[in-house]
Amino acid sequence: MIIDNKDALSLSKNPWRLCSLNQVEEVKLLLRLIPIWLSTLMFCVVFVQSQSFFVKQGSTMVRSIGSNFQVPPAALQCVGGLTLVIIIPIYDRIFVPMARKNSGHHRGITILQRIGIGLFVSILIMLVASLVETKRINIAQEHGLVDDPKAIVPMSIWWLVPQYVLLGIGELFTIIGLQELFYDQMPDGMRSLGAAAFISIVGVGSFVANAIISILQKITSRNENVWLGNNLNRAHLNNYYWVLSGLCGINFCVYLWVASRFVYKRVESDDERRDGGEETI
């Protein structure tokens, strides 16, 4: 604790002027996590699409199974969850041991590397989504359905499965990785705040997604060619997905720069004593 003349001569100590070394280090830990928090918002922007435009896409496609059953458009969201259930054991039992042999790290890869892989997958998600949407629009044009907002495009809803599968893979790396990061790297007495910071990413990501939509709507409305109109067959949702993939690419580059400068909290544990050494990106 550093004490100047003012504190030394004062009978009562001002806690706002006196900070222990431990308190200073805890503040540093919090500040280090802010750039990571900001650079992962784009993944949550992509995640939000699965609950909005992906569902709206599915509502315009052929959803019938047999003669009497229609697949609800929102039901495909379970594909991401099923993907997680399938690949988590593969990740833990196969990927981590193989990666541990190559890297010597007890987790196989570091937390930041895990998050980075998920951010890269988010680029692939939007690229696949844009290609599928381009195909859907082309089919709608071929069948003269552009001006009918309620028309069902003769294209199976199962075309949306790959982007949901990729989303599940991205969640395995980024979402779980963020949960680990904000738990491990928070000060011991503030781990509940770390959990709140992790959860807040999804909420703030929704606001960022709405901001991007508002900006694009304002720009495209100048030419009377709104990208995201009510008629999805005439809209340019594929262009919106291309923009998101570009933003994800830029965000990924920013994340790599931020992560390369991140310093992990030193934690004494059996794993680290066995590995010997601090984590690096």
pLDDT one-digit tens code per residue, 63-107: 888 778 888 888 888 998 899 999 999 998 998 889 888 888 888
Cα separation, 30 vs 96, in Å, equals 28
Could you tell me if residue 66 is left (phi over 0), alpha (psi between -120 and 50 degrees) or otherwise beta?
left
Residue 260 has pLDDT above 80, yes or no: yes
Question: What is the torsional sign of CA 30, 32, 33, 35?
Answer: positive
This prediction's pTM: 0.83
In this prediction, residue 160 has a pLDDT band, given cuts at 50, 70 and 90, of very high
Q: Given the structure tokens 């931020």, which residue do they identify?
A: 258
Residue 45 has pLDDT above 90, yes or no: yes
Cα separation, 174 vs 186, in Å, equals 18
Say if residues 61 and 143 touch (Cβ distance below 8 Å).
Answer: no
Residue 167 has pLDDT above 90, yes or no: yes
Q: Give me the percent of the chain exceeding a pLDDT of 70.
A: 83
Q: Given the structure tokens 């784009």, which residue do they identify?
A: 42
Residue 276 has pLDDT above 50, yes or no: no
| CA proximity to 233, closest of 142, 131, 125, 126 | 142
Count of helices and strands (H, E) across the chain: 12, 4
> Residue 45 corresponds to which tokens in the numbers above?
């922007």
Cα separation, 205 vs 42, in Å, equals 7
Q: At what angle do helices 111-142 and 41-49 cross, to 10 degrees?
A: 30
In this prediction, residue 10 has a pLDDT band, given cuts at 50, 70 and 90, of low
